[in-house]
Chains A and B, each alone.
Chain A
Amino acid sequence: MSGENNGMSAVSKKTTSGDMIGQGSQFTGLYYRELVKTFRNPLVILITVVQPFMWLAFFGSSFANVPLYNVHLLLCNNGLDTVCDADLKSYTQFLLPGVLSTSMLAVGMFGSMSTIQDKRFGFMKRILITPTSKATVYLAKTLGSATRGLVQIPVMVVAALAFGVTIGGNPLQWAGWALALFFLGFGMCCMFLAVTASSTDWQTPGVISNFITMPLMFASTSLFPQANFPTWMQTISNWNPVSYSALFGRGVVVYGNPNWAYLGYLAIFATLMVVIGTIVASRYLKAE
């Protein structure tokens, strides 16, 4: 009953003991599939790139004719961030790290939708009928989505340069900034997929996205410094990972001197989310 007849070639299988099965191969396959599906879909790439670009172009330009003095008056307060007059050249420069941070909120929604698509088209059954754990599926989906989000970074930076934004920092700081954005995107993906692990409804990711994205975006330092926030919003902002991603990026772009502790905070956020999410997905991720 081995099914090795018919003169066909035999395949090599990795050996195991107990019922524990290594998951490296399955993870590689599923992660690759996520990336391939993304980069072969021109519409997804277009939306991923255009959405933050539009933010920068339209929202960033809304202060274009405001005298720099007034921009400084609005943005250069003492708050959690310490943007000051000498370094800040325009609102677009202030906005760039914030928009990139905000756009990372959306990648979680895409990851969640991709999972629901697999459930509805039966592909999740095809995966889970192989020796692939639910945790592996979850990690491949979340890492794939977070990786997709990183595509936005170079595009946005180029766009910002086209808008005349001066970008400070050095390669190490830029790498740190990319890592900060990855931690934020990965953490958000983990949260999204954990919340929607048992869902098969197309509408769920959109509803949750609207519910989560708006408060996290506005109650953060993405668009404005928190010094002007009411106290309750400052409290949210102080716990909001989007704030720390924006502040770290602003430290690189505006000052060339980021606060590396923010990167540590984001790493803790991502770690916490992936641990909780993996536990939740292992239990509640449904095949259909």
Chain B
Amino acid sequence: MTESAILTRGMTKNFGKLVAVDHVDMDVPSGIVFGLLGPNGAGKTTIIKLLTALSEMTSGEAWVAGYDVHLQPMHVKERVGWVAAEVILDDELSGWENLWLQAKLQRLSEWKDRAEELLKYFQLSDRKKDKVGTYSTGMRKKLEIALALLHQPSVIFMDEPTIGLDPNTRRSLWELIHGVNKEFGITILLTSHYIEEADALCDQISIIDQGKFVASGSPKDLKAKVKADFVELETSEDVDEVKLRSIPGVSEVRSQGRAWILQVASAEEVLPHIFSTLKTEGIRRINVEKPSLETVFLNITGKRIDQGGSEVHDYRKFYGQIRRSRQ
């Protein structure tokens, strides 16, 4: 038994020679929203499958809601809820029948009052008798969260909960997720490859790449680790690297084809100097990247999150070089 909502030690999952989850250690305190941020294929969904006993780990240990996932999987399953990336409901059944089935699967005897209240909370009461197949995507997502909450779980796993949703629905779902965490006091483990989603929702984040946790902390702490801004610029005429290095506030310069990437202490302070220095070369394009979870990921892995495992040629080399230069 443990006080943490989720605790893992050396959790590993291999698929043949592929190491999908590589010796992951997690310690998620109760009551927080914990984010797993990483590109597609990084191992986020596999971690959820391991923690919900849907898949057996190759090695390591894990406890969820105080129960050993390997030795007490049924007790774990009684205490967790799940919201899938793709909405998974029985479209042939009504909203109420889906709740009934969930109550049966979770062996609940007195559940109807809570189900009614959840439907009211998610504004689905008037559609409860309709077939779920007639619901909008947003309504289906809400019903799925209601199913996950019905048996009063200790932990809810949300696997890419807003993927495929339009921006408005996504933002309203963020509010709901935030509400579920704060008002119901439930620990939420959320996976996402949306930077802004993880930033907006999560109290703590672990960045995952190729099955490994490469950084962990609060969004604020993680962003603080990247102490620089990045300025990417492209000029009409050739520009001398020495000239760029001479600009006050520029600490690192790297060429990328016709473009240059400058590491600067503060983009706001350096931009006027850049414009004045490169007046004759003519700036065609300039892009400022402030510290964000994206730059944290870039800084550590040399990749952008939404570019998955693919290599980002000059960025990768550049940020890799900067990382190495710091070590």
User: Is A283 engaged at the interface, CB distance under 8 Å to the other chain?
Assistant: no
Contacts of A287 on B, CB cut-off 8 Å? 54
Are A130 and B77 neighbours in the complex by a CB distance under 8 Å? yes
Contact partner of A26 (CB less than 8 A), chosen from B73, B93, B107, B154, is B107
Question: Judging by beta carbons under 8 Å apart, are A36 and B65 in contact?
Answer: no
B114 touches A11 (CB 8 A): yes
Q: Which of B144-152, B202-210, B222-230, B275-283 is near enough to bind chain A?
A: B144-152
Query: Which residue of chain B lies nearest to A29 when distances are taken between CB atoms in the complex?
Result: B104
CB distance from A144 to the nearest CB of B (A): 13
B residues 80-112 in Cβ contact with A at 8 Å:
80, 82, 84, 86, 88-90, 92-93, 97, 100-111
Q: Is the CB of A10 within 8 A of B74?
A: no
Once the chains bind, are A8 and B150 in contact (CB under 8 Å)?
Answer: no
B104 and A123 within 8 A (CB):
no
Q: In the complex the two chains form, is A28's CB within 8 Å of B74's CB? A: no
Q: Does B309 contact A (CB under 8 A)?
A: no
- A57 to B173, alpha carbons, bound, how many Å? 57
What's the nearest-Cβ distance from chain A to residue B285, in Å? 43
Which of B5, B82, B89, B111 contacts A129 (CB under 8 A)?
Answer: B82
For B154, the closest partner residue in chain A by CB is A1
Name B152's contact: one of A11, A22, A26 (CB within 8 Å).
A11
The yes or no answer to A131 lying at the interface (CB within 8 A) is: yes
Cβ-closest chain B residue relative to A287: B54
Chain B residues numbered 147-183 whose CB sits less than 8 Å from any CB in chain A: 149-155, 183
In the complex the two chains form, is A22's CB within 8 Å of B117's CB? no
Distance from B16 Cβ to chain A, minimum over Cβ atoms (Å): 16
Contacts of B78 in A (CB 8 A): 13, 21, 130-131
Size of the chain B interface, CB-CB below 8 angstroms:
52
B186 in contact (CB, < 8 A) = yes
In this complex, what residue of B is CB-closest to A20?
A: B74
Residues of chain A contacted by B86 (CB below 8 angstroms): 122
For A1, the closest partner residue in chain B by CB is B30
A2-38 contact mask (Cβ, 8 Å, vs B): 1 or 0: 1111101111111010011110011011101100110
Interface SS, A side: loop
With A1-B30, A8-B118 as given contacts, are A130 and B152 in contact (CB-CB < 8 Å)?
no
**Contact indicator per residue, chain A 112-147, by CB within 8 Å of chain B (1) or not (0):** 000000000111011111111100000000000000
- Asked whether A36 lies within 8 Å of B97 as measured between CB atoms, the reply is yes
Measured between beta carbons, the chain B residues less than 8 angstroms from A127 are 105
Contact of B107 among A5, A13, A128 (CB under 8 A): A13
The CA of A66 and the CA of B1, in the complex, are separated in Å by 79
Among A5, A33, A130, max chain B CB count under 10 A is at A130
Contact check: which of B73, B101, B118 meets A19 at CB < 8 Å?
Answer: B73
Are the C-beta atoms of B107 and A3 separated by less than 8 Å?
A: no
B77 touches A131 (CB 8 A): yes
In the complex, what residue of chain B is closest to A31 when comparing beta carbons?
B104
Q: Are A5 and B183 in contact (CB under 8 A)?
A: yes
Known A1-B187, A3-B149, A3-B153; contact A129-B52, beta-carbon cutoff 8 A: yes
Chain B residues with CB under 8 Å of A130's CB are 77-78, 102, 105-106
Determine which of A14, A123, A126 lies in contact with B82 in the assembled complex, contact meaning CB atoms within 8 Å: A126
Chain B residues with Cβ below 8 Å from A3 are 149, 152-154, 184-186
From B5, B109, B121, contact of A14 by CB (8 A): B109
B220 interfacial by beta-carbon distance below 8 Å: no
Does B134 interact with chain A (Cβ within 8 Å)?
no
Expressed in whole angstroms, the Cα–Cα distance for A40 and B110 within the complex equals: 27
Chain A residues with CB under 8 Å of B153's CB are: 3
Q: Does B113 contact A (CB under 8 A)?
A: yes
Known A-B contacts A3-B149, A128-B54; the reply to A11 vs B186 at CB < 8 A is no
Q: What string of 1s and 0s marks CB contacts (under 8 Å) between B52-89 and chain A?
A: 10100000000001000001111101101010101011
- Beta-carbon contact of B110 and A33 below 8 Å: no
A287 smallest CB distance to B (angstroms): 5
Residue of B nearest to A136 (CB): B105
The reply to whether A37 and B92 form a contact with Cβ atoms under 8 Å apart is yes
Question: 1/0 per residue A81-117: CB within 8 Å of B?
Answer: 0000000000000000000000000000000000000
Mark A246-279 against chain B: 1 for CB-CB distance below 8 A, else 0: 0000000000000000000000000000000000
Minimum CB–CB distance from A121 to chain B (whole Å) comes to: 7
Residue of B nearest to A128 (CB): B54
Which residues of A lie under 8 Å from residue B308 when comparing CB positions? none
**A1 near B88: Cβ-Cβ < 8 Å:** no
Closest Cβ–Cβ distance, residue A23 to chain B (whole Å): 9
Contact of A123 among B73, B90, B113, B118 (CB under 8 A): B90
Residues of B within 8 A of A9 (CB): 110, 113-114, 117
CA distance in complex: A3, B52 (Å): 18
Q: B10 an interface residue at 8 Å Cβ cutoff? A: no
Chain B CB count within 10 A is highest, among A1, A3, A8, A125, for A3
State the B residues within 8 Å of A (CB): 5, 30-31, 52, 54, 65, 71-75, 77-78, 80, 82, 84, 86, 88-90, 92-93, 97, 100-111, 113-114, 117-118, 121, 149-155, 183-187
Give me 17 A-to-B residue pairs in the complex whose CB atoms sit less than 8 angstroms apart, sorted by A's number: A1-B154, A6-B121, A8-B117, A10-B114, A13-B78, A13-B108, A14-B107, A25-B105, A28-B104, A33-B90, A41-B92, A122-B84, A126-B82, A126-B88, A129-B80, A130-B105, A131-B106
